[in-house]
Amino acid sequence: MDRAAICLLLALLTSPLLAQAPPTVNQRLSQLENTTKAAQLSGDNAWMLTSAALVLLMTGPGLALFYGGLVRAKNVLGTMMHSFSLMAVVTVLWAIYGYSLAFAQGTPFIGGLRYLFLRDVGGAPNADYGATVPHETFMVYQLMFAIITPALISGAFAERMKFSAMLLFTCLWSTVVYFPMAHMVWGKGGLLNATLGGTIPCLDFAGGTVVHITSGVSALVCAIYLGKRLGYPREPMKPHNLVLSFIGACLLWVGWFGFNAGSAVAASALATHAFVATHFAAATAALGWMFAEWVKHGKPSMLGGISGAVAGLVAITPASGFVQPFPALLIGFLAGVFCFFMVTIVKMRFGYDDTLDAFGVHGAGGTLGALLTGAFATNAINAAFGNDASGKPLPLGWVDGNPHQVLNQAAGVIIAWVLAGVGTLIILFLVDRLVGVRVSADQEIEGLDLTMHGEEGYNLDA
C-alpha cells in the first residue's frame, strides 16, 4: 500500500495536466482515499460474487446430485427438479419482495417494504450489511441462501410429493418461514440479531438457525404429514447411484466455502477463519460418522463418509466465523457421531420416513451447531459484540467466560423450531386442501419422473 501511495503521488506530481495548478495536500489525500476504497471494494466484491456463485453451486448441481443419487432410479429427475426449480422460483420471489422482507428495516420479526422490487438496492454499499461491497452483491449473495434452504427440505418428501404442491409449498414456506427467520437473525433490528440491534443476541454466522434448523425441522413435519413411502421400510429402497451422491456431496463441501467464508462479506482474515473452521469440521465429521458406522455395522461406508461431511458442514455453519480451528475439529466430530445416531437409531425408533434424512442431518446438526456456537464462540476470532469502555473486546461464548450465550443460542433454536414447525404444518394443510400434497399410489409406483415430468433419467437403450 505504501508503495502504491508513493507511485500515486509521483504520478500526480509529474502529471503535466496538473502541473499548472498543483493539487493541495487535502485534494491529494482525498484522491488517495478514493483509490484505496475502490481497491478494497473491488477485492471484496470479487470474493463475494465468487461466493455467491459457490453457494448456487451447492444447490445445482451439488444438492441435486446428492439427493438424486440417493433415490430410486424412477425418481431421479423428479428429485433433481425439486432443487433446480427452486433456483428459478425463489429468485423471482426474492426480487419482488423476498429481499425486502428479509433485510429491509421493519419490525423485529419481519422486514419492511423499502427494498420492494429491489428499490434502492444498487451499486452503492449498504453499510449495515457490507460496507465494502455493492448492496446488490449482498442481495444476490443472500438470494443463494434463500434458494438452498427450501431445497434442503425436499429430502424429506422426495419420491412422493406432487410437483405442483412442491412449488406452492416452497413459495409459501419461503414467505412465512424463511424471510422472517432471516430477518430476525440477520436483518437490521431483527429480534435475534447479534450486531444490528437485536434484543436476544443469537450468534449465527452463516445460517445454522436460519437455514439448517428451519429446513431440517420443516423436513420432519413434511415427512410425518406426508406419511411413509409405499412399502417403506419393508421393500428395498436402495440409493440408485451413490456415485452421483458422492459428486454432489463433494460439490457441497466446496460450495460451503462460499456459504461460510463468504458470510464475512469481505475477503478478510475473518473469511479465512471461517474457511478453515468449515473445512476442519467437515473432515472430522466424515471420520466421526465413518467410525461410528464401523463400530456399529462392521464396515465404514462411502455414503456414511459423505453424510458425515455434510453433517459437519451443517454444524459448523453458525459457528464458522466465531470459533478457533481446534473447537471446529471437535464440533465436526460430535456432529458426525450425533447425526449418525439420529439417522440410524432415532429414525428407526420412531419410524418416520425422512427419505433422505433432511431432519437427521440438517435439523439435528443445525441444532447441535447452534448450541455449540454458544460454547465455543470467541472474540479472538470475531469481536462481534464490540468493545467495552477500556477498548477490550467483549466476551462472546462460554470459552470467553460468557456462559449466558448458550441460553441466547437456545432462544434462537427454539424460535427457529417453533416457527418452522408450526409454519410448515399450516402451509402443508393449506396446500393439501388446494392441490393435494401427495401423488396417487399408481403415480408413486410408476415414479415421479414419468408421472410428473413425462421423461426418464436413464434411457440406456435409446
Partner 1 sequence: MKKIESIIQPHKLDEVKEALKNIGIDGITVTEVRGHGRQKGHKEIYRGMEYDVDFLPKIKLETVVPDARLEEVVRTLVSAARTGKIGDGKIFVFDVLDAIRIRNDDRGEAAL
Q: Which residues bind partner 1 (CB under 8 A)?
A: 233, 236-239, 296-297, 299, 301, 303-304, 307, 343-345, 347-348, 357
CB of 345 to partner 1, least distance (A): 7
Nearer to partner 1 (CB atom), residue 5 or residue 348: 348
Nearer to partner 1 (CB atom), residue 89 or residue 346: 346
Phi, psi dihedrals of residue 18, rounded to the nearest 5°: -90, -5
CA dist 184 and 177 (Å) reads 11
CA dist 398 and 456 (Å) reads 53
DSSP annotation of 197 reads T
CB of 161 to partner 1, least distance (A): 20
CB of 280 to partner 1, least distance (A): 24
By C-alpha distance, which of 184, 138, 153 is closest to 86? 153
Q: What angle, rounded to 10 degrees, do the helices at 25-57 and 135-157 form?
A: 10
Rounded to whole angstroms, what are the CA distances from 116 to 81, 93, 100? 28, 10, 5
Q: Residue 161: helix, strand or coil by DSSP?
A: strand
CB of 313 to partner 1, least distance (A): 17
Phi, psi dihedrals of residue 268, rounded to the nearest 5°: -110, 180
Nearer to partner 1 (CB atom), residue 247 or residue 270: 247
Nearer to partner 1 (CB atom), residue 267 or residue 282: 282
- Residues shown for the chain: 462
Q: Residue 228: helix, strand or coil by DSSP?
A: coil
CB of 174 to partner 1, least distance (A): 28
Q: Are 55 and 87 in contact (CB under 8 A)?
A: no
CB of 267 to partner 1, least distance (A): 38
Nearer to partner 1 (CB atom), residue 4 or residue 345: 345
Nearer to partner 1 (CB atom), residue 297 or residue 404: 297
CA dist 23 and 30 (Å) reads 11
CB of 304 to partner 1, least distance (A): 7
Nearer to partner 1 (CB atom), residue 262 or residue 304: 304
Nearer to partner 1 (CB atom), residue 86 or residue 158: 158
CB of 70 to partner 1, least distance (A): 8
Nearer to partner 1 (CB atom), residue 175 or residue 301: 301
Classify the C-alpha dihedral 19-23-24-26 as positive or negative. Answer: negative
- Unique residue bearing C-alpha cell 473447537: 327
Phi, psi dihedrals of residue 438, rounded to the nearest 5°: -110, 145
CB of 360 to partner 1, least distance (A): 8
Instruction: Give the number of other CB atoms < 10 A from CB of residue 45.
Output: 20
CA dist 371 and 217 (Å) reads 16
